[in-house]
Structure 1
């Protein structure tokens, strides 16, 4: 990226925001995430995040404690995951994205728990507002992650389609990918998560409207309230296709010391499953920040069918 493309956040700040794609993604330089950040710097990072939907930091030297401390500057940090029972000792907020835990599928190592487009844990009535992912062990190549801008996807729909989508609610469920009969699968079966969210949610900070049809969580039920199964499936397929068009995406190549920080209220992401055949480990660590209950264009709120809100501290 040329110097001209870099954007100084303020004349008093050393932070530089470097856009990475036309609609989404920026790299932030000049920040040490292991340090105690000023309120002004935190505000600048937050503004860059709201503008670019996902921001990236390079060459960071932080562990679990520093990652959690950084996350707390942006809100309440939740436990690792509604179904995570084995976080790292002493760090219940950390979710390992660890290929060593997932085994082999179709003859290849699974490098991520979910390799479909999704927004984190939208089966909750209050899905996470933000997620922060830190690289630890990486394959020599492959294993990138992509994000898509759900605000851009909505804004570029024809007006009549936007007006129709504004009125819809889709069912989000947590579909277990754990081995049948495993302790995790049994836990998920005992504590199901199911919520109806507006297909278009209004961002609580920016007021932007975003498509909210996470394929990873709406594919199992394929249900839109008021539409039959066949029509629901067709409508969701069309919206998923729009939401994940290549022009709305950015692809991030992980390197040692890389950190990604994204807004779940305006993005979906994809762990690209192109490294499983390499037989190399891929380990990253995620923390999430408590979110609000989504609100539709007309002010209606999401409705929980099964499961409790997920709160942080």
Structure 2
């Protein structure tokens, strides 16, 4: 597919190949490590907005080139805390191998730590840093080393999920708000739990609209996820749980999802405002590490259907990481 010519006289060689009916497309004909003209950047942005997540294969990016590519689409986030696997000299890059350190730091094997974060089928689904009042707008994730099988990531389109609701349910959820809190999806150990103490000492929580308006497309987004959402405001606990389960099941219906098989040099670029994703739980080969590098782009404060923005409850202020 040839892109339109928004800012250049000559068409680019960019090819956008949809991967599923509602979400996901592979983009070919571009070297992300090289200079990108404005028309190519505009075409990639348009593809991300249309397909919510786009994939590039065979890319040769180092940390600096990864950050430079991400910077064409926004301001990279610099996290205040990263693990020891992340590059010390490139603060915008976070290495997912850091996650392997967390369980050990709090007295657990990694597998137990992962099970306690995913104790139900829906708990693992999340957007990045969704408990913040200003979650990242987008994420650019690149694969360095992947296992020969397993390790796929799955994304769900929250705009399509909202559109697929019946009209009475859409009217019902349009006016609701929900509390998103760091660690609410974690199932604590019996007795002393160092990780739970860590979560309580570093709380981040916000109240977000249950339906947010996408700031670029104007779409209504069913803003739910399984890892951060604590409760729908104004509903009882049983009511909230029933409604959230219904909405999460809607969000991750197979027709609204796409699954990507990683290769070394693969890059995924997704709209964190309009998707949730599920990291793999099937990387069982200890001799085949999965090393990924992530750059996130700073986002805005979500706004609901009625024009009301999200509100911070505890944690970092907007724009401060």
Change (3 A) 1:106 1:29: closer
Aligned 8 A contact 1:76 1:312 in 2: no
**C-alpha RMSD of the superposition:** 2.4
1:101 aligned residue: 101
Give the distance between the partners of 2:287 and 2:236, measured in 1 at CA: 43
Give the distance between the partners of 1:106 and 1:209, measured in 2 at CA: 36
Give the distance between the partners of 1:45 and 1:294, measured in 2 at CA: 23
Task: Determine if the alignment matches structure 1 residue 181 to structure 2 residue 194.
Answer: yes
* 1:226-262, Cα deviation, whole Å (9 max, x unpaired): 1111101111010000000001000000001100000
Change (3 A) 1:234 1:30: same
1:65 aligned residue: 64
* 1:48-93, Cα deviation, whole Å (9 max, x unpaired): 100000000000000111111111111111114x543543111111
Give the distance between the partners of 1:295 and 1:244, measured in 2 at CA: 23
2:106 aligned residue: none
After superposition, residues 287-298 of structure 1 pair within 5 angstroms as 287-298=295-306
Change (3 A) 1:36 1:139: same
* 1:10-66, Cα deviation, whole Å (9 max, x unpaired): 371110000000000000101111112111111110001000000000000001111
Cα offset for 1:277?
A: 5.3
After superposition, residues 1-313 of structure 1 pair within 5 angstroms as 7-10=1-4, 12-80=11-79, 83-84=81-82, 86=84, 87-98=86-97, 100-102=100-102, 104-106=109-111, 116-175=124-183, 180-181=193-194, 188-218=199-229, 221=230, 223-276=231-284, 280-311=288-319
Aligned 8 A contact 1:290 1:310 in 2: no
* 1:177-226, Cα deviation, whole Å (9 max, x unpaired): 699436xx6554333100010000000000000100111111xx2x1111
SS of 1:23's partner is coil
* 1:99-130, Cα deviation, whole Å (9 max, x unpaired): 643564557x969x878111111100000000
Give the distance between the partners of 1:106 and 1:36, measured in 2 at CA: 41
1:3 aligned residue: none
Give the distance between the partners of 1:95 and 1:25, measured in 2 at CA: 23
Give the distance between the partners of 1:72 and 1:267, measured in 2 at CA: 21
Aligned 8 A contact 1:124 1:195 in 2: yes
TM-score for both structures, normalised by structure 1: 0.89
Change (3 A) 1:33 1:55: same
Aligned 8 A contact 1:201 1:296 in 2: yes
Give the distance between the partners of 1:156 and 1:312, measured in 2 at CA: 35
Change (3 A) 1:59 1:100: same
Aligned 8 A contact 2:76 2:297 in 1: yes
SS of 1:215's partner is coil
Gaps in structure 2 of 5+ consecutive residues: 6-10, 104-108
| Count, aligned residues | 299
Cα offset for 1:9?
A: 1.4
SS of 2:247's partner is helix
Give the distance between the partners of 1:263 and 1:106, measured in 2 at CA: 29
SS of 2:313's partner is strand
Give the distance between the partners of 1:97 and 1:146, measured in 2 at CA: 16
Change (3 A) 1:275 1:110: farther
